[in-house]
């Protein structure tokens, strides 16, 4: 064979099969902080040989970035927090459906998108946390009880622009309708101990230092305070008790962190592999032990800390509803005077 024929064949092989010269990789945009996801990504790389290129950022900023990048985005997979944000990503047209028997088997139907565009990875509960020496928990059985006059000036909660609160209100609209939820929200606002400010940890701290007697917060924030290195936060967290609401009716409100394959993914196969790894028993157990979140997959063990809070009935409302009713929830909170 003449030398130029060899050169031509080599160049043809390169152009026809560019993946041969490319390392296996997947590009991940994550709204979860690096410390809360990187150890799992390292395990995935060790097991599969697929390198994960991680970009972290605020959830809304990452979605805006995906939208502006369009087909030119380098991202293959998006991880974000709250079903409301996952729904926004779907509505923005930046995700694509995924067909995976492994995902369908691991993730219960209510924790994934009806059109298979996103899947829940971990479950978090938004509940009441009380000062047990100042609150008679027998009088606090449901979210609805938070509007009772007895709690006037005694409740700490984040602002209405917080997606976790918006999803809580969306769940209540789904269960009891807009009119009843708005009346409840007005009563809740009357019971605020202070104007809403700060994150969930700040609400828990408010209970610990006596600024309020009841906080509404996600359980994994309490877990982070109890297991973290900050001694002051640990001491404050030990002052509160978790109350599981609505155990005789709808169950405690839960939400998910989740992920979806980007519509313009260049490494779709590896993105699906990573998504499937994140719902494996190994990864799900890590979420529970290291992040104080509940596994989305049934049958996976949880940490001693989560066990110490007791078993609870979770709301089985489909997560899609939290996104679908988000706009309605935001308008309702505004009418109620929740700022």
Q: For the chain, what is the mean pLDDT? A: 93
CATH 3.40.190.10-classified regions of the chain: 14-123+256-301, 124-253+312-335
Could you tell me the fold of the domain covering 124-253+312-335? D-Maltodextrin-Binding Protein; domain 2 (3.40.190)
Angstrom CA distances, 166 to 57, 76, 249, 312, 320, stand at 21, 28, 21, 22, 13
- The kind and range of the H/E element at 91 are helix 83-91
Closest-CA residue to 95 (of 109, 110, 112, 107): 112
Report the CATH fold assignment for 14-123+256-301.
Answer: D-Maltodextrin-Binding Protein; domain 2 (3.40.190)
What number is the average pLDDT over the span 33-46? 93
Q: Please say if the pLDDT value at position 22 is more than 60.
A: no
Q: For residues 55 and 75, is the Cβ–Cβ distance under 8 A?
A: yes
Give 12's Cβ-side CA count (13 Å radius). Answer: 6
Task: Give percent of the chain above pLDDT 90.
Answer: 92
pLDDT at 18 over 50: no
Digit-coded pLDDT (tens) for 219-242: 999 999 999 999 999 999 999 999
pLDDT score at 9 = 37
Helix (H) / strand (E) element for 52: namely strand 51-56
Neighbours of 50 (CB within 10 A): 20
Residue 77 — pLDDT band, cuts 50, 70, 90? Answer: very high
The contacts of residue 304 (CB under 8 Å, 6+ apart) are none
Quick: pLDDT tens for 154-181.
999 999 999 999 999 999 999 999 999 9
Closest CA relative to residue 265, chosen from 53, 23, 76:
76
User: pTM here?
Assistant: 0.91
pLDDT in tens, 235-267: 999 999 999 999 999 999 999 999 999 999 999
């Amino acid at each position: 064979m003449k030398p130029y024929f060899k050169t031509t064949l080599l160049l043809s092989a390169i152009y026809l099969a560019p993946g041969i010269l490319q390392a296996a990789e997947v590009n991940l945009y994550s709204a979860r902080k690096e410390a809360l996801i990187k150890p799992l990504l390292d395990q995935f790389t060790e097991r599969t040989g697929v390198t994960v290129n991680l970009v972290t950022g605020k959830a809304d900023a990452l979605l805006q970035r995906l939208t502006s990048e369009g087909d030119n985005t380098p991202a293959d997979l998006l991880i974000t927090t709250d079903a409301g944000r996952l729904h926004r990503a779907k509505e923005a047209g930046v995700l694509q459906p995924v067909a995976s028997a492994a995902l369908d088997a691991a993730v219960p139907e209510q924790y994934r998108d009806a059109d298979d565009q996103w899947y829940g990875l971990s479950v978090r509960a938004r509940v009441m946390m009380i000062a047990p020496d100042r609150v008679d928990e027998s009088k606090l059985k449901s979210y609805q009880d938070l509007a009772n006059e007895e709690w006037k000036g005694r409740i700490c909660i984040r602002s209405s622009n917080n997606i976790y609160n918006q999803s809580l209100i969306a769940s209540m609209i789904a269960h009891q309708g807009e009119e009843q939820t708005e009346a409840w929200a007005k009563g809740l606002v009357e019971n605020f101990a202070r104007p809403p400010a700060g994150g969930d940890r700040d609400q828990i701290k408010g209970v610990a230092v006596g600024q309020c007697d009841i906080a509404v917060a996600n359980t994994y924030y309490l877990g982070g305070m109890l297991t973290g290195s900050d001694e002051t936060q640990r001491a404050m967290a030990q002052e509160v008790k978790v109350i599981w609401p609505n155990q005789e009716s709808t169950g405690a409100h839960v939400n998910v962190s989740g992920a979806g394959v980007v519509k313009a993914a260049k490494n779709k196969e590896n993105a699906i592999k990573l998504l499937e790894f994140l719902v494996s028993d190994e990864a799900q157990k890590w979420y529970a032990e290291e992040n104080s979140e509940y596994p989305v997959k049934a049958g996976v063990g949880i940490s001693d800390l989560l066990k110490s809070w007791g078993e609870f009935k979770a709301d089985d409302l489909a997560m899609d509803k939290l996104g679908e009713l988000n706009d309605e929830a935001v308008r309702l909170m505004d009418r109620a005077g929740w700022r």
